[in-house]
C-alpha cells in the first residue's frame, strides 16, 4: 500500500538522517555535485537555490563560485544532512543559508526562513534566483510537475535556470529490483512513483515542459560508477542490502515471513533480468535537464 504524503516525508527524513554521517563518502555524490556546478554555468554575483541540498555538496560549491556578492540558499527535509552542511560551511568560512523543509512547498519554507533572518541581502520569495538546482531528488517527489511549477516564480524571468536529474533506468539495479519486490508483497518503496514515471529521458523533459519551462539541454551523463552483480550471489546481495542499507531495511523483518518471501522474489527477479547470463552490470548514469523560464511565462 502506498504511503500517504506525510508518512512518505517522515520516511524520507529518517532515511537521509541515517545516511548523513557517511553521505559524502560516496564518490558518486561528490562527482555529480562537481558536474552540477558546470551544468549550471554559475557566475560571480548570482543567487542560487539548491533544493534537496543534503550535506551541501552543490550548495557550498555554488557559494565558492558566486562569491560574497551572490546569495546561496540550501533547503532539505533532513536535519541530519543540514547539520553536516552547516558544519562544512563553518569550516570553509562560507556564508550559506540552510533551511529545513519540504522542497515540494519551498515557497513556504523560504517565507519562514526570511522571517527568521536578519541578513540584509537574504533572498526571499519576493526576490529572484538566477539558478535552482535539485540533484538526485526528483524521483522522490509525489507530483514533480506541481513542485516545479511552485519553483518557477522564484526564478528570474526571463532566463532563470533550473538544473535537475533522475537516474537512468539501469542506474540503480537494486532500487529497481526492490521496487518489483515491494509490488509483489503489496507494499511500496519511497521511489515507487518516480521510478515508474521516468522510463525514458524524454519523460524527464515532459515533466519540465509541463511545468512551464523551456528545455535548453537534455542529456545522459557518463557512468559515475559500475557494479557487477553475480547471479549465484543474489541471496547474499539481498542480505547485505537489507541489513546494511536503511533504504531497504523494510524487507529485513522476519515477522510473517516477509524477509524470506522478499528474498525469494529478489533472487527470481535478478535471474529474470539477467537473460540467462551469470551476472548483471549496473552503470550509475543520470538523465539531466537544464531548463529556463521562457519570455512569456506566467506565475
What's the pLDDT tens digit per position in 45-94? 999 999 999 999 999 999 999 999 999 999 999 999 999 999 999 999 99
For a pLDDT cut of 90, what percent of the chain falls above it?
A: 78
Q: Is 231 part of any domain?
A: no
Q: Is 268 part of any domain?
A: no
Grid cell 512547498 is found at 105
Q: Is 197 part of any domain?
A: yes
* pLDDT score recorded for residue 127: 57
* pLDDT score recorded for residue 115: 53
Between CA 222 and CA 115 the distance in angstroms is: 42
Q: Is 237 part of any domain?
A: no
DSSP alpha helices (H): ranges in the chain?
5-19, 27-40, 57-66, 79-92, 106-115, 144-151, 173-185, 192-197, 201-210, 234-244, 258-274
Residue 121: which domain range?
A: 5-168+192-223+284-292
- Say which residues have a Cβ less than 8 Å from residue 15's Cβ, sequence separation at least 6: 190, 246, 247
Segments in the chain below pLDDT 70: 1-3, 113-127, 195, 296-299
In angstroms, how far is the first alpha carbon of the chain from the final one?
35
* pLDDT score recorded for residue 118: 46
Q: Is 65 part of any domain?
A: yes
Between CA 6 and CA 296 the distance in angstroms is: 35
Q: Is 70 part of any domain?
A: yes
* pLDDT score recorded for residue 73: 96
* pLDDT score recorded for residue 179: 93
Domain count, the chain: 1
Q: Is 100 part of any domain?
A: yes
Q: Is 179 part of any domain?
A: no
**CATH assignment of the domain containing 147:** 3.40.50.150
Taking only the tens place, the pLDDT of each residue in 119-139 is 435 666 655 899 999 999 999
Identify the three-state secondary structure at position 45.
coil
Amino acid at each position: 500500500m502506498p504511503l500517504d504524503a506525510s508518512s512518505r516525508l517522515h520516511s524520507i527524513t529518517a532515511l537521509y538522517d541515517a545516511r548523513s554521517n557517511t553521505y559524502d563518502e560516496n564518490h558518486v555524490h561528490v562527482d555529480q555535485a562537481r558536474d552540477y556546478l558546470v551544468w549550471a554555468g554559475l557566475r560571480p554575483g548570482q543567487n542560487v537555490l539548491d533544493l534537496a541540498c543534503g550535506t551541501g555538496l552543490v550548495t557550498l560549491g555554488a557559494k565558492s563560485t558566486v562569491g560574497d556578492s551572490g546569495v546561496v540558499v540550501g533547503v532539505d527535509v533532513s536535519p541530519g544532512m543540514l547539520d553536516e552542511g552547516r558544519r562544512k560551511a563553518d569550516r570553509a568560512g562560507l556564508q550559506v543559508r540552510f533551511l529545513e523543509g519540504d522542497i515540494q512547498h519551498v515557497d513556504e519554507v523560504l517565507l519562514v526562513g526570511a522571517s527568521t533572518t536578519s541578513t540584509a541581502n537574504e533572498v526571499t520569495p519576493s526576490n529572484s534566483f538566477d539558478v535552482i538546482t535539485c540533484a538526485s531528488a526528483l524521483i522522490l517527489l509525489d507530483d514533480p510537475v506541481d513542485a516545479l511549477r511552485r519553483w518557477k516564480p522564484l526564478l528570474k524571468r526571463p532566463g532563470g535556470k533550473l538544473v535537475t536529474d533522475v537516474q537512468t533506468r539501469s542506474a540503480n539495479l537494486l532500487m529497481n529490483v526492490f521496487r518489483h519486490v515491494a509490488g509483489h508483497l503489496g507494499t511500496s518503496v519511497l521511489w515507487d512513483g518516480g521510478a515508474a514515471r521516468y522510463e525514458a529521458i524524454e519523460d524527464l523533459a515532459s515533466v519540465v515542459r509541463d511545468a512551464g519551462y523551456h528545455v535548453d539541454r537534455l542529456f545522459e551523463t557518463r557512468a559515475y560508477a559500475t557494479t557487477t552483480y553475480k547471479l549465484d550471489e543474489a541471496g547474499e546481495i539481498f542480505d547485505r542490502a537489507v541489513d546494511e542499507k536503511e533504504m531497504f531495511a523494510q524487507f529485513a523483518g522476519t515477522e510473517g515471513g516477509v524477509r524470506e518471501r522478499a528474498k525469494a522474489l529478489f533472487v527470481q527477479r535478478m535471474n529474470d533480468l539477467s537473460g540467462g547470463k551469470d551476472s548483471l552490470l549496473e552503470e550509475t548514469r543520470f538523465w539531466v535537464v537544464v531548463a529556463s523560464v521562457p519570455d512569456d511565462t506566467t506565475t
